[in-house]
Amino acid sequence: MIRAAVNIAELRQRARQRLPRLVFEYLDGGAEDELSLRANRQGFDDWRLQPRLLRDVSERSQAVSWWDRELPSPMAVAPIGLAGVFWPKADIAVAQAAAAAGLPYILSTASNSSIEEVAEQAGGDLWFQLYVINRSIADGLVRRALAAGYRTLVLTIDVAVGGKRERDLFNGFTQPFRLTPRVLWDMARRPHWLTQNWRGAPQLANLVTLEAPDAESQAALVQRRMDASYDWEALQRLREMWPHRLVVKGILHADDARRAFELGCDGVVLSNHGGRQLDGAVSALDVLPQVAKLANRGLVLIDGGVRRGSDVLKARALGADGVLVGRAAQFGVASGGRAGAARALAILRDELDRTMALAGVASLERIPDDLLRRNNF
């Protein structure tokens, strides 16, 4: 039973057992030597909690405010492209799980269900993540997100080109799948996945335009034609065009965060894209303390490596407003659909609650300055 899954590591293990290897490694892997992928996890482990005891922690609250909104926990679900290969209509399943938990869900440009479908079928606090494939496609996507009721736009800026994901290259993971004998053998060993998932190649539903009617031409749009000339001026134009909350995802330098806020952006996500883009990049946790103390800053979120409730407490203690949950929620959906995604979010929430009690923290709005100690330094 997926509801009995104990931790995120178990959900990952279940996902590994259900998915063909090339699909699991697309989800699990990073770029090149996976230095950043590992550093993201290590970054959390390098901090130790120094509990303060004999404090009344009988009533605990993990509620926080992001802008003018109250959230039950400081978490949102990260945008994940091609999630439809993990579970049929995974975007909708995860968005529904997030809505039920009262958490924001960020829909990827490279989703397999469209902006409009997700808005109709999931509801909740929906944010749209924008990849600038080219400026006119981007303008069209922004207008659609606005019309469909999305009120927070997340521009991802760390994808001037695609990262070199070597597991995908070794495994022959392509979009759409190229059915070589090796790929067919890999899939044949996962009959459960095959019968549930095989409806042909999932479409990149937001890009089903005249320009890209089939999965192959949509993939070409995403993989080969990202707009590498996108710069601060372009961001300024986007700021002028989008009337609601604008968040920039992929920042890894305090000066870039400052500049984004000066331009009028409402938030930043410090992120190395889950270790999938620039390998050897610093992790979000490395730069968080500098960004958190910027004057006149907006919302500061981080992502990469969140697998435990204690990670969320550590992020808050280092000055983040909250975290994005990336692979953790996808291991959930890949192992049990909507219920699995819901289980992943519940595990993180329950672990956070327990960690707060044991660390002597009754509220995430009041964390002692000396809660964390750096290990081994």
Ligand X SMILES: Cc1cc2nc3c(=O)[nH]c(=O)nc-3n(C[C@H](O)[C@H](O)[C@H](O)COP(=O)(O)O)c2cc1C
Q: Could you say whether residue 155 binds ligand X (CB under 6 A)?
A: no
Q: CA-CA distances (angstroms) from residue 349 to 103, 162, 308, 352? A: 11, 33, 9, 5
Shortest Å, Cβ 305 to ligand X: 5
Asked if 97 and 341 count as a contact pair (C-beta separation under 8 A), the reply is yes
Q: Which of 18, 249, 308, 314 is the binder for ligand X (CB under 6 A)?
A: 249
Secondary structure (DSSP) of 178-199:
P--HHHHHHHHT-HHHHHHH-S
Give the nearest distance from C-beta 124 to ligand X in angstroms. Answer: 18
Nearer to ligand X, 129 or 355 (CB): 129
Q: Enter the tokens of residue 251.
A: 């920042």
The binder of ligand X chosen from 84, 202, 322, 326 (CB under 6 A): 326
Cα separations (Å) of 8 from 26, 191, 332?
A: 18, 24, 8
Question: Per CB under 6 A, does 277 bind ligand X?
Answer: no
Task: State which of residues 190, 245, 273, 343 lies at the interface with ligand X (CB under 6 A).
Answer: 273
Nearer to ligand X by Cβ, of 37 and 64: the residue is: 37
Any idea which residue has 């991802």 for tokens? Answer: 156
Residues 293-312, interacting with ligand X (CB under 6 A): 303-306
Q: Which is nearer to ligand X, 42 or 50 (CB)?
A: 42
Question: Three-state SS for 9?
Answer: helix
* Active site (annotated) includes residue 273: yes
Q: Smallest gap, in angstroms, from Cβ of residue 241 to ligand X?
A: 19
Total number of residues shown for the chain: 377
Q: In the complex with ligand X, which residue's Cβ is closer, 36 or 62? A: 36
Residue closer to ligand X, measured from CB, 276 or 338: 276
> Which residue among the candidates 192, 244, 253, 273 is catalytic per the annotation?
273
- Which positions from 125 to 154 touch ligand X by CB under 6 A, shown as an x/- string? ----x-------------------------
Query: How many helical (H) and strand (E) elements, i.e. helices and strands, does the chain have?
Result: 15, 12
The residue among 81, 85, 109, 108 whose CA lies nearest residue 22 is 85
Supply 343's token pair. 């289980």
State the nearest-atom distance from the C-beta of 70 to ligand X, in Å: 24
Instruction: Tell me if 27 contacts ligand X by CB under 6 A.
Output: yes
Residue closer to ligand X, measured from CB, 50 or 82: 82
40 binds ligand X (CB under 6 A): yes
Determine the Cα–Cα distance for residues 26 and 320; give it in Å rounded to an integer: 28
Q: State the minimum distance, in angstroms, from the CB of residue 377 to ligand X.
A: 23
- Interaction between residue 156 and ligand X (CB under 6 A): yes
Question: Parallel, antiparallel, or unpaired for β 299-303 and 152-156?
Answer: unpaired
DSSP, collapsed to helix, strand or coil, labels residue 142 as helix
- Does 175 bind ligand X (CB under 6 A)? Our answer is no
Distance separating alpha carbons of residues 315 and 103, to the nearest angstrom:
17
Task: Look up residue 191 and give its amino acid.
Answer: P
Q: Specify the stretch interacting with ligand X by CB under 6 A; choose among 167-175, 212-220, 267-275, 313-321.
A: 267-275
Q: Which of 43, 81, 202, 322 binds ligand X (CB under 6 A)?
A: 81
Tokens of 122: 């999931």
Q: Is 265 helix (H, G, I), strand (E, B) or coil?
A: coil
Span interacting with ligand X, options 54-62, 74-82, 175-183, 340-348, rule CB under 6 A: 74-82
Stretch that binds ligand X, among 14-22, 77-85, 211-219, 288-296 (CB under 6 A): 77-85
E strands, the chain, in order: 47-49, 64-66, 69-71, 75-77, 105-107, 126-130, 152-156, 245-251, 267-270, 299-303, 322-325, 372-374
Using only the alpha carbons of the chain, give its radius of gyration: 20
Which residues does the annotation mark as catalytic? 273
Rule CB under 6 A: which residues touch ligand X?
26-27, 40, 78-81, 108, 110, 129, 156, 249, 271, 273-274, 276, 303-306, 324, 326-327
